[in-house]
Structure 1
Amino acid sequence: MQRFEEKVVLVTGGGTGIGEACVAQLAAEGARVAVMGRRRELVEAVASRHGGLALAGDAADGDAMAGAVHTVLQRYGRLDVLVANAGGFGQGACADIDDDDWQRALTANLNTAFASARACLPALAAQRGAIVFVGSIAALAAGPEVCGYTTFKHALIGLSRSIARDYGPQGVRANVVCPGWVRTPMADAEMAPLMAQHGISLDQAYDLVCADVPLRRPATPQEIAEVCAFLASPAAAMVTGAVLAADGGSTIVDVPTLAFTRME
């Protein structure tokens, strides 16, 4: 399919993982892609592979985002889709997080989304475009000792719904994708404590964290990119303000009944 032929897409956090997969998916479907991230060498490599525009910068920096959008418009003349994928940080329980860590989580998970959306909205409105925010099931439920991450991923849904309400009359759609475990370099690093504690391999660690997930496996970045592409595409033309869990069924599990499953 060439759902994005002649369309221009900006992906933040595009240098690795889900962001990189989104760049690849949208470029394969005909989009002209702009790839933004803080690590210049990664961003330039991804952009080069997909014939795109590399934009090194911090998506949480309003001036950097405004400059990035200006560069995109100078190069391509339009902007149709923003995939706001930048995020991370936010470890620790509430009483254990200092002010700097809290601000770091706020910056990575919410300010990046806000600043990138704010910078892109005038151009998106001109094309009746779409925003896809990449959230997490942490936007829907709380994991252990990830207070900052959980708080600001929850807030991401509010941001998306506010944009959907205010800019819908201009034709702009805004939605959130909430992945569960995805096999990315970031998630691989999160498996390290389990691997050390149980003396298991990376694959076995993923099996362990997905033991109660109905599909019993993590997603691939490509699978999440497919969901993002759907929400950005004309096929989702009537979808806005929505939250789509792409989590293998994690968030449908009735936790109090897990003991019965373990009897089998």
Structure 2
Amino acid sequence: MSTLEGTVVMITGGGTGIGAATARLYASSGARVVVTGRRRDPLEKVAAETGGLAVVSDVSEREQAEAAVATTLAEYGRLDVAVANAGGQGLSSVTDTDDDEWAFALQSNLTTAFVFARAAVPALLESRGQIVIVSSLAGLFAGPNLAGYTVGKHALIGLTRTLARDYGPQGVRANAVCPGWVHTPMADDEMAKLAELGGLTDPGDGYQMATAEVPLRRAAEPEEIATIIRFLGSPDSSYMTGSVLVADGGAHVVDLPTLAFERAANSE
């Protein structure tokens, strides 16, 4: 594993979950970390833990994204890795999604990453740096009643590839990671709903239900996804760009049409 001493990393959605775990991992590797998001308290907590910088910002807004990058450059003089991690929203079917919900889902999952990347690219061209975009397994497949989320996460892969295509000749790499279920505050809320639908009361039961057919039979910890982000956003992945790494415990290898046969065999 290469040293990241002196590397400057900026992480959106850096106050909780995968973003916070990524900040801690980079900091432990010697990097200088900037965490940004809309909620001050969790950002400042992560910044205090990592010796980093907290920047309260809605990076889906061009002026705020550019200001956040400018603050990073003013504090540290460079930007080497931009991690577009913020996202969420869009949890309904097409016919149940009104125009405002659709716009908000795309803003949360796609526009935020696009605007942040656009603001970060000039600095990354100077450092010949890296962009890591956190998509989702929903960027490759479709779950039920997740229209805005699924479309936004699919589009993030397109954004990753176009960044890789356009800026690779100047030395900037862009890669994506697609996590499956991860123990995060957002997933906790979904697992609580799932457990309730199943007549259970413990949110942990929701995770068990959601990963029952996943080969590893569990959700990931945020730190496990952070190691993949750190790999993509470091010299260790120096000949990778436009790539999409799936981290889902093996969920994508399951042949769904054969599950009925497995269940039938196990019930005998």
TM bucket (normalised to shorter chain) is over 0.9
The reply to whether residue 180 of structure 1 matches residue 174 of structure 2 is no
* CA distance in 2: counterparts of 1:249 and 1:59, whole angstroms: 32
| Bigger mean CA deviation after superposition, 195-204 or 64-73 | 195-204
Deviation at residue 200 of structure 1 after TM alignment: 4.0
Does the residue aligned with 1:95 lie in a helix, a strand or coil?
coil
- Aligned positions of 1:196-211 closer than 5 A: 196-197=196-197, 198-211=199-212
Does residue 138 of the first structure (1) align with residue 168 of the second (2)?
no
SS in 1 for 2:30: coil
- Asked if the contact 1:194/1:200 (under 8 Å) is kept, the reply is no
Q: Deviations over 1:209-241 (max 9, x none)?
A: 101111110000000000100111111000100
Q: Secondary structure at the match of 1:191?
A: helix
- Counterparts of 1:91-240 in structure 2, within 5 Å, are 91-197=91-197, 198-240=199-241
Distance 1:139 1:54 in 2: 29
- Summarize deviations over 1:150-185 as a string: whole Å, max 9, x none: 001000001110000000011111011000000011
Matched residue type, 1:233: S
Aligned to 2:251: 250
1: distance between equivalents of 2:84 and 2:115? Answer: 10
> Structure 1 residue runs of 4+, over 4 Å off?
none
Residue 83 of structure 2: aligned partner: 83
Equivalent residue number for residue 5 of structure 2:
5
> Are the equivalent residues in 2 in contact too, given 1:175–1:240 (CA < 8 A)?
yes
What's the secondary structure of 1:206's corresponding residue?
A: helix
Aligned-partner residue type, residue 150 of structure 1: T
| Distance in 1, Cα, partners of 2:149 & 2:111 | 12
Q: Kindly indicate whether the alpha-carbon contact (under 8 Å) linking 2:2 and 2:235 is maintained by their aligned counterparts in 1.
A: no
Amino acid paired to 2:153 = K
Which residue in the other structure is 2:19 paired with? 19
In the alignment, the residues of structure 1 paired with residue 3 and residue 189 of structure 2 have an alpha-carbon distance, to the nearest angstrom, of 34
SS of the residue aligned with 2:104?
A: helix
SS state of the match for residue 211, structure 1? coil
Letter in 1 for 2:233: A
Does structure 1 conserve the Cα–Cα contact (< 8 Å) formed by 2:38 and 2:57?
yes
**Structure 2 gaps, min length 5:** none
Q: TM-score, normalising length from structure 2?
A: 0.97
Give 3-state SS (helix, strand or coil) of 1:157's partner: helix
Letter in 2 for 1:64: Q
Write the distance in 1 (CA, Å) between the matches of 2:94 and 2:122.
37
| 8 Å Cα contact 1:210/1:216 also seen in 2 | yes
One-letter code aligned to 2:60: A
Contact 1:18 1:184 survives alignment (8 Å): yes
C-alpha distance in 1 between matches for 2:171 and 2:101: 37
Are the counterparts in 1 of residues 2 and 236 from structure 2 also a CA contact under 8 Å?
no
Q: How far, CA to CA, are the matches of 1:3 and 1:208 in structure 2?
A: 40
Tell me the TM-score normalized by structure 1: 0.98
| Contact 2:91-2:147 at 8 Å conserved across structures | yes
**TM-superposed deviation, 1:4:** 1.3
